Amino acid sequence: MPYANPEIKPFFSIVIPTRDRAFLLKDLIDSVVSQDFDDFEIIVADNSKELFSQDLLGNYKNEARLHNVKTGNLNMADNWETAINSASGKYLLLFSDKMILKQGSLKYLKE
């Protein structure tokens, strides 16, 4: 569900700061987009030196809920802050790139 109208906000903003760990990022993104609840956005703040994460994120170009924020060259705290400040949802969920989201989690949290 894309949010072209800035007055319509997603229920959850799922914020994922990452750096040089595309091999972990895919599993987390896949676990989020496969949820049985779809009122969310995904913010990936990619602080990577290499292009592997950007290549991976290119595979999700048709996923309108995913927002790729290329930061690069920030310290960890600033990358996390950039990621959080990019969120527009009613509630914010902050995930490390080495996590995955169990099926049904977003629906459960909303209820």
7 pLDDT band, cuts 50/70/90, is low
Torsion of CA 19, 64, 33, 15, to 10 degrees: 40
Is residue 85 over pLDDT 80? yes
CB burial of residue 45 (10 Å; 0-12, 13-18, 19+): buried
12: β partners: 40, 91
Q: How much is the CA Rg of the chain, to the nearest whole Å?
A: 13
pLDDT in tens, 45-74: 999 999 999 999 999 999 999 999 999 889
What average pLDDT does the segment 69-82 reach?
94
Give the pLDDT of residue 1: 43
The answer to whether the pTM exceeds 0.95 is no
8 A C-beta contact, residue 91 and residue 13: yes
